[in-house]
A = this chain, B = another copy of it.
Amino acid sequence: MSYDDFIRFGRKTSTLASCGSVLGWDQETYMPKGGTEIRAQQLATIAGLVHRRVTSNEYKELLEAAEQAVADEEADSQRSANVREVRRRYDLDRKIPEELVVEITRTSTLARRVWVDARDSDDFPSFLPWLEKTVELARKKADYLGYDKQPYDALIDTYEQGETTESITNMFQPLREGLVDLLGRILASGRKVDTSLVRATYPIDTQKRIGRQAAEMIGFDFDRGRIDVTTHPFCSGAGPDDVRLTTRYSENFFNESFFGTLHEAGHGIYEQGLLMEHWGTPMGDAVSLGIHESQSRMWENLVGRSRGFWTHFFPTLKEAFPEALRNGDPEAFYRAINEVRPSRIRVEADEVTYNLHIFLRFELEQALINGELKPADVPGVWNETFRDYFQIEVGDDRHGCLQDIHWAMGGIGYFPTYSLGNLYASQLFAAATRDLGDLEAQFARGEFATLKGWLNEKIHREGSRLQPRRLVEAITGSAPSHEPLMQHLETKYGEIYGL
Contacts and interface: CB of A to CB of B under 8 A. Distances in A.
A276 B37 contact: yes
Contact of A241 (B38, B228, B243): B38
Given A16-B49, A42-B238, A30 B33 contact: no
A431 B493 CA distance: 78
A194 to B, nearest CB: 39
Contacts of A31: 242
A223 B279 contact: no
A223 B32 contact: yes
A23 interface: yes
Interface in A234-286: 238-239, 241-243, 276, 279
Interface string A8-38: 0000100110111011001001111111111
A450 B148 CA distance: 66
Contacts of A36: 241
A15 B32 contact: no
A398 interface: no
A278 to B, nearest CB: 13
Interface residues of A, number: 39
A39 interface: yes
A413 interface: no
A133 to B, nearest CB: 23
B18 A238 contact: no
Given A32-B224, A32-B242, A19 B46 contact: yes
Given A12-B45, A45-B15, A45-B16, A242 B38 contact: yes
A346 interface: no
A221 interface: yes
Contacts of A20: 19
Contacts of A42: 15-16, 18-19, 22, 238
B46 A16 contact: yes
A128 B242 CA distance: 28
A13 B405 CA distance: 31
Given A23-B22, A32-B222, A223-B33, A239 B46 contact: no
A28 to B, nearest CB: 13
A318 interface: no
Given A18-B42, A38-B239, A238-B38, A32 B276 contact: no
A197 B281 CA distance: 59
Nearest to A45: B15
A57 interface: no
Contacts of A241: 32, 34-38
A361 to B, nearest CB: 33
Nearest to A15: B45
Contacts of A242: 31-32, 34-35, 38-39
A225 interface: yes
A264 to B, nearest CB: 15
A224 B22 contact: no
Interface in A73-102: none
A16 B37 CA distance: 14
A10 B15 CA distance: 22
B19 A23 contact: yes
A30 B243 CA distance: 11
Contact of A26 (B12, B22, B35, B39): B22
A226 interface: yes
Contacts of A18: 38, 42
Contacts of A30: 29-30, 226, 228
15 contacts: A16-B49, A19-B19, A19-B23, A22-B23, A22-B42, A26-B26, A30-B226, A32-B223, A34-B221, A34-B241, A35-B239, A35-B242, A37-B241, A38-B279, A39-B242
Q: Which 9 A-B pairs have the closest CB atoms?
A: A35-B242, A34-B224, A34-B241, A15-B45, A38-B239, A34-B223, A38-B238, A19-B42, A32-B226
Given A15-B45, A33-B223, A34-B223, 5 more contacts: A15-B42, A19-B42, A32-B223, A39-B238, A49-B49
